[in-house]
Structure 1
Amino acid sequence: MQSNSITTTYAPPFKIVAKYFIAAIIDFVILNFLLMLNYKDITGFYFQPKILAITHLLTLGWISMTIFGAMFQLVPVVLETKLFSEKLADIQFWIFLLGMIGFVTGFWNSDTGLHLNASAVLLNIAVLIFAVNMVGTFIHVKKWNITGWYLISALIYLIITAIAGFLLAYNLWHPYISINHLQYLKLHAEVAVIGWVTMVVMGVSYKLIPMFTLSHGYSMKSSKWAFWLVNIGLVGINIFFHFENNIIEILGSTLFIAAGIAFFLFQVYLIYKNRLRKKRDIGIKYSIFSFYMLGIVTLFGLIFSFIDLSGIPNIYLVFGYLVLYGYLSMLIVGQMYKIVPFLAWYHKYSSKVGLEPVPMLKDMFNEKYALVSYYLMTTAIIATTASFIFNSRIALLFSFGLMFFGSLIFTFNILTILRK
């Protein structure tokens, strides 16, 4: 029988997960500060040193760090087996952190030589350690579920993403790729965001959303359709990319991915519809906004595939920002507001229940502050999109400032939880 909690006897010590989450949150604040400080440089074509640096700080330091921590916590719980090695999780953290810092500073300083490539090697070593840890955990699983299959797929895409990232970095140092570098960069981004990150989001959502909303009595058929459609689409794009005259095949693969995401969103709707907990707390508010944004960016991506929108100012930056902030960052913040309070409470107070007064979960952070942060972040996302489209630098500075202050409030709340 599957656990209805995010912590069981299978879960690793909280300090392992906390380390990844704290690093991710610090990165989130830093990247928002950098956006605000360098707003004049965040415009035009996306293949620029500072934009590439901030993008990788976001995808590696904020998003991937969070996912690593979440997977170390959730994989043992969801699949009912101990983590293969807590020591490897600790070693991976430091190697990944060092590689991420080197990779980001390499792009920032336009140093695409040894600095960038050595950092890419470190990142690949960290991913290899993570893969060994996950495979070592997976082989002891006795009963698989749909979440497990999503996580296996995500792990495969992560490995592909890391290797491709190194090969692209090496191409900047010693060019060897005959096809346009930017075409491979686009493929790299698609595999990273859809294959690695979104497959984790999908799989974990089937566990977390029912738990947090107390949902029961719904069909899971749509989750299986989503799994196969997204994977078929991703494999198709990666294969047909290397063929000539591949427009129809690429469009077909894109439609498969979009259909898979639509099935996923329908599955989320079914779970949410059958909830017993009707109140929308702050974590759910963030998550709902994120899933709406996922639908919007999926539709956006489809339109991109069929219509040339390059004439719209900063259109690639708009799309990237909506994916990385509107969809992924809002989802991460929302889920952290659900996961971190429970883990911190369980770690500090579960053994004291009945022996002495302990705080309630709702007392672990200030929900009014969290709501202010929610409105700051949602306003920032809308305002940033408009600022890019109308090419207004002053508005962009204001929008980045809103997100920065929203991230500070979020960080204050998480630190409050950890210090309780």
Structure 2
Amino acid sequence: MSSSLPKQSDGMYKLVLLHYFISGLCFLLLAVLFLFSIKDISGHYFNPHLLAITHLAALGWGTLVIFGACYQLLPVLLETDLYSSKLPWFTFVLFIPGLFCLIYSFWVFEPGIHMQAGGLLLTSAILTFCITVIRTAKKSKVSSIHKEFIVTSSIWLVATALVGTLLVFNFHYAFLPKDHLQYLRLHAHMGLAGWFLMLIIGVSCKLIPMFLVSRIQLNHLLSWSYYLVNLALLLFLIDGYFYGINLHTYFITMVLLAGLSCYFVYVKKCFDSRLKKKLDIPILKTVLSISLLSLALILIPVIIYSSSKQNGLAVHYSIFYGMLLFMGWITALIMGHAFKTLPFIVWVRKYEHLSGKRKIPMPADLYSSKLLKLQYVSYIAFCILFFCGYLLYSPVMMIIGIGCLLISSVAYLLNLVILIKHKDKSLSHERI
């Protein structure tokens, strides 16, 4: 992979690092806000603190790091130069103030000018990102299912942002014809299935076999996954808009599960046919993330049943479902892939031109393995304690679990700093 990563200008390299670093700060802030929101987590999902936390997780922690990774990986996946080196900076300048305007206004719940400005800035930033992706894809001569996943996911992200902005203005003007919670449910699943799921499948199905050195890749399964996941999402949006959660949702869930099953079989075949037998911590986190996604999927029929019966447990399990996706599936995947992709990005920048000329470190030598282990162990402890504590209605277990998440986020951020600020020590010894 290292030889295939293109070198970028100083500006683009710094921009990629900024995305990773600020995303890491958002992860730490997310853990802190969780600690102050224990009571809110046990209530209804439509409350100011949970809205702030969810959007910080989705945008600041998840989307921001994906943007940064895409600017480096798109040229590799699509085998062409990035459409523009200026547009990503414009996206970043719009995204950051928009993010913190939105998070702050949700936390204190002031649905006025700050919330509206945040929504408009974020939507504008997402539009420019989508333009970068689509124009880069148009330049590419490669025809692959990975390309379709990435382009489609960016379009879904724009749709998610547009609906979210409408909801922000609806707080003040109340112009939407249906219940606000109904639109919120559609908005959330457009982001989860349309943006995160589509992009993660498209990128991971290129990176996983690359990291594992897999001999067999069943690409036809990815095509089935692409069409089935998109079909399920479209059916959910149409049916959900007119009828809400009902018996049709069971059928739509089956379509989604069929699409995800194709993806899971593809990944399993990559693992089974791998030449690299030893699994490192980042890959183990990928396995953990898929396990947490599977657990969340098991909850869907329970949520549908509880909602159709208007059972109070529907809200309880819906919050658990959302936390499994944001703090489980997405978080584990980001924490794993960050230390597979970013070390290569830094290594290519600092060492590729020296390859074969003198002894140089490997990408895995650029960060602390001890911090990576601490991050991994504390995150697993968080998953066990927090999720079990939520199901058992135990605030003590949840608080201890969030304490573990704080440790994990600090270890993650410190390791990012070590990686970003890495200096070639061997070169200084040679000079001496």
Task: Give the TM-score of the pair, scaled to structure 1.
Answer: 0.95
C-alpha distance in structure 1 between counterparts of 2:247 and 2:37, whole Å: 40
Indicate the residue corresponding to 2:82 in structure 1.
83
C-alpha distance in structure 2 between counterparts of 1:49 and 1:245, whole Å: 23
C-alpha distance in structure 1 between counterparts of 2:254 and 2:97, whole Å: 38
What's the CA shift for 1:6?
5.6
Indicate the residue corresponding to 1:255 in structure 2.
254
Indicate the residue corresponding to 1:55 in structure 2.
54
Indicate the residue corresponding to 2:346 in structure 1.
344
C-alpha distance in structure 2 between counterparts of 1:48 and 1:229, whole Å: 33
In the alignment, residue 121 of structure 1 is paired with which amino acid?
Answer: L
Question: Which region of structure 1 is more displaced relative to structure 2, 123-132 or 346-355?
Answer: 346-355
| Pair 1:298-2:300 in alignment | no
What's the CA shift for 1:313?
7.9
CA deviations 1:364-402 (Å, max 9, x no partner) are 122232122211111111211122122222222111110
Indicate the residue corresponding to 1:268 in structure 2.
267
Assess if the C-alpha contact under 8 Å between 1:387 and 1:395 holds in 2: yes
Of the three residues 352, 355, 362, the one matched with 1:360 is 362
Pick closer, same or farther for the CA change 1:82–1:382 going to 2, 3 Å. Answer: same
Question: Which region of structure 1 is more displaced relative to structure 2, 97-106 or 27-36?
Answer: 27-36
Task: Give the TM-score of the pair, scaled to structure 2.
Answer: 0.92
Question: Which region of structure 1 is more displaced relative to structure 2, 157-166 or 354-363?
Answer: 354-363
Of the three residues 398, 402, 405, the one matched with 1:403 is 405
In the alignment, residue 378 of structure 1 is paired with which amino acid?
Answer: I
Question: Which region of structure 1 is more displaced relative to structure 2, 237-246 or 110-119?
Answer: 237-246
Question: Which region of structure 1 is more displaced relative to structure 2, 347-356 or 211-220?
Answer: 347-356
In the alignment, residue 286 of structure 1 is paired with which amino acid?
Answer: K
C-alpha distance in structure 2 between counterparts of 1:124 and 1:312, whole Å: 31
C-alpha distance in structure 2 between counterparts of 1:180 and 1:313, whole Å: 16
| Pair 1:8-2:10 in alignment | no
| Pair 1:319-2:321 in alignment | yes
In the alignment, residue 384 of structure 1 is paired with which amino acid?
Answer: F
Pick closer, same or farther for the CA change 1:17–1:238 going to 2, 3 Å. Answer: same
C-alpha distance in structure 2 between counterparts of 1:223 and 1:326, whole Å: 23
Question: Which region of structure 1 is more displaced relative to structure 2, 144-153 or 216-225?
Answer: 216-225
CA deviations 1:113-146 (Å, max 9, x no partner) are 1110111000111011112212221211112111
Question: Which region of structure 1 is more displaced relative to structure 2, 10-19 or 111-120?
Answer: 10-19
C-alpha distance in structure 2 between counterparts of 1:216 and 1:95, whole Å: 42
Of the three residues 368, 378, 381, the one matched with 1:379 is 381
Q: Percent identity?
A: 30
Indicate the residue corresponding to 1:196 in structure 2.
195
- Once superposed, which parts of structure 1, at least 4 consecutive aligned residues long, lie more than 4 Å away? 3-6, 9-12
Indicate the residue corresponding to 2:119 in structure 1.
120
What's the CA shift for 1:344?
0.8
The DSSP-based 3-state class of the residue aligned with 2:241 is coil
The DSSP-based 3-state class of the residue aligned with 1:241 is helix
C-alpha distance in structure 2 between counterparts of 1:376 and 1:189, whole Å: 28
C-alpha distance in structure 2 between counterparts of 1:10 and 1:79, whole Å: 16
Indicate the residue corresponding to 2:335 in structure 1.
333
Question: Which region of structure 1 is more displaced relative to structure 2, 367-376 or 301-310?
Answer: 301-310
Please give the residue correspondences for 1:78-157 in structure 2 after superposition, counting only pairs within 5 Å.
78-157=77-156
Assess if the C-alpha contact under 8 Å between 2:375 and 2:409 holds in 1: yes
C-alpha distance in structure 2 between counterparts of 1:292 and 1:6, whole Å: 30
C-alpha distance in structure 2 between counterparts of 1:136 and 1:224, whole Å: 22
C-alpha distance in structure 2 between counterparts of 1:281 and 1:363, whole Å: 13
Question: Which region of structure 1 is more displaced relative to structure 2, 128-137 or 310-319?
Answer: 310-319
What's the CA shift for 1:302?
3.2
Pick closer, same or farther for the CA change 1:269–1:10 going to 2, 3 Å. Answer: farther
Cα RMSD over matched residues? 2.0
What's the CA shift for 1:246?
7.8
Question: Which region of structure 1 is more displaced relative to structure 2, 159-168 or 354-363?
Answer: 354-363
In the alignment, residue 149 of structure 2 is paired with which amino acid?
Answer: Y
Indicate the residue corresponding to 2:223 in structure 1.
224
| Structure 1, unaligned runs of 5 or more | none
What's the CA shift for 1:231?
0.6
C-alpha distance in structure 1 between counterparts of 2:246 and 2:324, whole Å: 25
Indicate the residue corresponding to 2:426 in structure 1.
none
C-alpha distance in structure 2 between counterparts of 1:143 and 1:351, whole Å: 27
In the alignment, residue 87 of structure 2 is paired with which amino acid?
Answer: L
In the alignment, residue 211 of structure 2 is paired with which amino acid?
Answer: F
The DSSP-based 3-state class of the residue aligned with 2:360 is coil
